[in-house]
Structure 1
């Protein structure tokens, strides 16, 4: 079964576009590997978390910054298909 990615973002902080951009990046790179990417407006102020099948992959507060697409793609890849080559993202 293909995994689900959830991006929980703070709507009051204006992070919907950032979350949508990350969703687009993931769906483009992993179009055959993911079942879905869901955007969830958080009720927790300042939250920006990304999970894969409920496993926390990225937490903005813990990491101290938002993920770059390259960072996030590597983390997702390392979980769903560690042998996969991400091309220029692996350099």
Structure 2
């Protein structure tokens, strides 16, 4: 898995935080999350060759949205706990 981030925009902390969230949630399912420096306002999350999230098209991702996308690829059907409960019940 790769997170490409813009160094000029100083998005390393955001990329590192998202990587931490993914590695914590999918510690047995992801071998690695690689941080890839880029430029031009890039913030793209990839799983293999597949783009899961592109800031230019979708804005900055909430970790819960990326977690759902990753889960659907690496651990389909696995519950994400409170992440999904709050998405299903807006009053939660």
Mark yes or no: TM-score above 0.5: yes
Picking from 38, 42, 46, the partner of 2:41 is 46
**Residue aligned with 1:57, SS:** strand
Runs of 4+ in structure 1 deviating by more than 6 angstroms, as ranges, are none
Aligned-pair Cα RMSD in Å: 0.7
Deviations 1:31-74 (A, max 9, x none): 000010000001x41010000012100000011x1111111100
* Alignment of structure 1 residues 1-91 onto 2, 5 Å: 5-42=1-38, 44-63=39-58, 65-91=59-85
1:82 to partner: Cα distance = 1.6
For 2:23 and 2:51, how far apart are their aligned partners in 1? 18
**Residue aligned with 2:33, SS:** strand
1:79 to partner: Cα distance = 1.2
What's the TM-score, normalizing by structure 1? 0.90
For 2:20 and 2:61, how far apart are their aligned partners in 1? 14
What's the TM-score, normalizing by structure 2? 0.89
Aligned residues: 85
